[in-house]
Amino acid sequence: MAINYEQLLNRKFETLTHDYTEKDSMLYALGVGLGNDPLNENCLQFVYEDGLKALPSMSVVLAYPGFWAREPDTGIDWVKVLHAGQEFIIHKPLPASGVVEATTKVTEIVDKGEGKGALVVTERVVRDKATGEDLCTLLSTIMARGDGGFGGPSTSSATPDRIPEREPDLICDLPTLDQAALIYRLSGDYNPLHASPSVARQAGFEKPILHGLCTFGVATHALLKTLCDYDPARLNRMRVRFSAPVYPGETIRTEMWRDGNKIAFRCRSVERDIVVINNGYAEVS
């Protein structure tokens, strides 16, 4: 079954309700590396219930629709799907616990051509169920590597954010734990690629890789630490393109360039000197 452009663009998604607790917020923060130093009180506010705060990047797991590209009606060859990009826009600081709801919709499909795959962009607005207030908007891009050539539009409305051609203004190195993927998956992404050595080898990796959204969370930590004094209310928007996987245990170096409240950034694996997140953009206050 191939992608039907009109059918996929107008696909109906179920409205999801998500009841999450302070324990869920702490578990998410632990999964992206907060608390690696248990004596760091700046990090403690995200993993300890006294004055607990939620990380802005936790928005990506709220009312998450799951691996919907695997459903037969999409026409997508799900085995060849990769997470290509992610963005969050925070409208109101996320509560450390609560009940939210959201509906996902497909907003753009780009046909890269036969043998080149397709880009599928979705949007999800997460709302506080009790008040109806919008908390965040999430834009996610997948690369459907096996689905190009179906006759859809060939150009995207989005252009990559530019990384300056000079030395970064700021650098932040953050280590990841060897068991980081095993912790992060407990926030809802149970893909065996991130836990099973045999599945990882079948996919062409030497061992299980870190979730792209876990790397996204580590980058969020770097921005909060370096630019926001660990105040999550100051990180308003963030988007990235995923360029290479990270292996748990590696150190992620985030390189940042400032232009007022606008930040360009990228992340690389220190051990392999390879860029793992590129074309990063953030807005801070």
pLDDT in tens, 249-262: 999 999 999 999 99
- Active-site residue (options: 117, 194, 221, 280): 194
Tokens read off for 279: 């074309």
Please list the residues that pair with 113 across neighbouring strands. Answer: 117
Q: What integer pLDDT is reported at residue 191 of this predicted model?
A: 85
- For the stretch 129-177, pLDDT in tens is 999 999 999 999 999 988 999 988 888 877 889 999 999 999 999 999 9
- Residue 23 has a CB neighbour count (10 Å cut-off) of 12
CA–CA distances in Å: residue 228 to residues 42, 211, 263: 11, 25, 12
- Active-site residue (options: 109, 209, 252, 263): 209
Q: What integer pLDDT is reported at residue 81 of this predicted model?
A: 84
Q: Is 130 exposed, middle or buried (0-12, 13-18, 19+ CB in 10 A)?
A: exposed
Is there a catalytic annotation at residue 189?
A: yes
CA–CA distances in Å: residue 19 to residues 62, 99, 128, 192: 9, 4, 10, 25
Q: Which residues have CB under 8 Å from 117's CB, separation 6+?
A: 80, 143, 144, 145, 146, 147, 148
Is there a catalytic annotation at residue 183?
A: no
Is the sign of the CA dihedral 260, 96, 176, 143 positive or negative? negative
Q: What integer pLDDT is reported at residue 159 of this predicted model?
A: 85
Is there a catalytic annotation at residue 194?
A: yes
Q: What integer pLDDT is reported at residue 66 of this predicted model?
A: 85
Q: What integer pLDDT is reported at residue 1 of this predicted model?
A: 65
- Active-site residue (options: 3, 147, 189, 277): 189
Is there a catalytic annotation at residue 212?
A: yes
Is the sign of the CA dihedral 48, 49, 55, 59 positive or negative? positive
Q: What integer pLDDT is reported at residue 204 of this predicted model?
A: 85
Q: Which segments of the chain have a pLDDT < 70?
A: 1
- Active-site residue (options: 33, 152, 212, 280): 212
Q: What integer pLDDT is reported at residue 271 of this predicted model?
A: 97
User: Which phi and psi angles does 174 have, rounded to 5°?
Assistant: -130, 125
How far apart, in whole angstroms, are the C-alpha atoms of residue 267 and residue 215?
9
